[in-house]
A = this chain, B = another copy of it.
Amino acid sequence: MAGLREQRKKRTRAAILEAALHLFSRQGYENTSINQMAKAAGIGKGTIYSYFQSKSEIFLAFCEDQFVFIDRELSEKSRRGKPLIEQLLTLFMGEFQFVSRNKEFGRILMRETVFPKELTVERSQELDNKYIELMVPLFKQAQKRGELRTDLELILVVGHFYGLYIMTVSGWYMGRLLTEEDVAMVLESLFLQALEGLSPAGTKKAMHNE
């Protein structure tokens, strides 16, 4: 009895997400109106706005779930001592598959997480933090194996690879990369560039070290 209210709220929230998931996957995000979702969830339009701040938030809500799930799963799978670059490719390509499964979904997700509005900044930061938590261990292991410099701020390393991932996804949205293979190839090339360095061999930390 303590949480009668709470329980109802949870059920309503779940009902909204379920209705949304159903409608989104049947007719896409843009073609689904808040009213439709409300009707499908058996509630009034206004009620939705006491559970979510905006339409895109509804979408992001289960995007994030699925996203984090994928990441967890992939990172488990790729944890066993493979080279860093393979681990990263597995991780990011898994994510890309989720994005590319529905271009429209993915675009909103990427736009909202990479360039968030003030309203959704917090949400995006949360997602971002999960990312960092996820990747930092990978990098630490790679450092132990001698695959990664130890004099770097790991958060910048995360940013580096994530930036290259965003760039690649952008290339896909721009129509420069058409197939999943294209994306995988470019991503790998960029990652290799990052690891090997863009300046000619020997130019680099030699300056500092020798």
Contacts and interface: CB of A to CB of B under 8 A. Distances in A.
Per DSSP, chain A at the interface is helix
Interface residues of A, number: 53
B199 A148 contact: yes
Given A156-B186, A196-B197, A199-B148, A163 B167 contact: yes
A2 interface: no
Number of copies: 2
Interface in A139-185: 146-150, 152-153, 156-157, 159-160, 162-171, 173-176
A205 interface: yes
Nearest to A189: B156
A4 interface: no
Nearest to A207: B196
Contacts of A152: 193, 198
Interface string A95-135: 00000000000010011001111000100110010000000
A128 B170 CA distance: 11
A132 to B, nearest CB: 11
A170 B205 CA distance: 28
A206 interface: yes
A61 interface: no
A78 B114 CA distance: 29
Q: Which 6 pairs across A and B sit closest by C-beta, in order of nearness?
A: A197-B197, A163-B167, A196-B204, A163-B163, A195-B199, A111-B111
18 contacts: A110-B115, A114-B173, A116-B173, A147-B199, A148-B198, A149-B201, A157-B193, A159-B167, A162-B167, A163-B190, A193-B194, A194-B197, A195-B197, A195-B198, A196-B197, A196-B204, A196-B205, A201-B204
